[in-house]
Structure 1
């Protein structure tokens, strides 16, 4: 499914395919994706703390591991550029780094916001199945929302893949 996710991002990535291809993919078939310790150990094996900014992209139960690993990476002296959480329903998301939530429907979007809405959000409209958000992000239409400093918010109708690619480009 992760390869499908990356392919969906690449189809929406106008001219920045290299950035998408520079991803380090945690082997969730070898270790539990919800384990922050395993993710952190994996990162330490392949990256140096001081010279690497990390953007975490996680899905479902993997959001639990990603937020813990992001905190751990930062506590060890590393830099967390952002955390992108796809359908991390029920997972509290707080940190001193930008956090972006994507949800497969409005209810998940609304109820997840009670546990930290993040710096920007996306929800599929019309709703899609949970796994489709990860497997086919370029076919999931919905609303991207970003709070503005004046108390208002920016809203744009786009695909989940376009939303993630935009985050990666920023």
Structure 2
């Protein structure tokens, strides 16, 4: 599985912390199904650039379109990630899913599964109306925006399944556990 990390406009230390936590998931997988984590290295406004993300992805995967890719994006990086995922798929690339972390105000749509994680309930419900598609997560109690990226293992909240949210109790867990459960679905 290839995971492309599309950070927002944030300090690299926050992204490194997120990747370290995400790498713990790799320990749970067998050797033959390891995770290839690719961190988009650009900073600033380039985090919004689908062109640059696609060029990076093409370079790292050797333009092997059949290689399954999961996009995990944060904040402003969600803008570039959704555009890159859509274009990659239009080029017959294998987009397994897109996970948007605190991409408030970014419309999300695609013919691949989409999941949102939000730092509070307000961000969750005001973003979901712009598209989500699958299981989502919101922090409760609310946390600051950067905490979602810096330390998802410390952010408690609710897993929202749009199909059962009104008929079953919501599951309470941390953001890292939610990410790992979603990623297991696509292994």
- TM-score of the superposition, structure 1-length normalised? 0.90
Of residues 18, 28, 43, the one that matches 2:42 is: 28
Q: CA deviation at 1:11?
A: 4.7
Following superposition of structure 1 onto structure 2, how do residues 71-110 of structure 1 map, counting pairs within 5 Å? 71-110=86-125
The answer for unaligned runs of 5 or more in structure 1 is none
Q: How many residues align?
A: 170
CA distance 1:43–1:158, change in 2 (3 Å):
same
Which moves more between the two structures, 64-73 or 50-59? 50-59
Distance 1:31 1:123 in 2: 27
**Cα deviation digits, residues 11-61 of structure 1 (max 9, x gap):** 566623977752111002387111111101111111133330110000000
Distance 1:140 1:150 in 2: 20
CA distance 1:42–1:14, change in 2 (3 Å):
closer
Corresponding residue for residue 21 of structure 2 = 8
User: Is the 1:12–1:162 Cα contact (8 Å) retained in structure 2?
Assistant: no
- TM-score of the superposition, structure 2-length normalised? 0.82
CA distance 1:142–1:27, change in 2 (3 Å):
same
Secondary structure at 1:130's aligned position in 2? Answer: coil
Secondary structure at 1:24's aligned position in 2? Answer: strand
Q: CA deviation at 1:3?
A: 1.2
User: Is the 1:9–1:137 Cα contact (8 Å) retained in structure 2?
Assistant: no
User: Is the 2:139–2:156 Cα contact (8 Å) retained in structure 1?
Assistant: yes
Q: CA deviation at 1:145?
A: 1.1
RMSD of aligned alpha carbons: 2.4
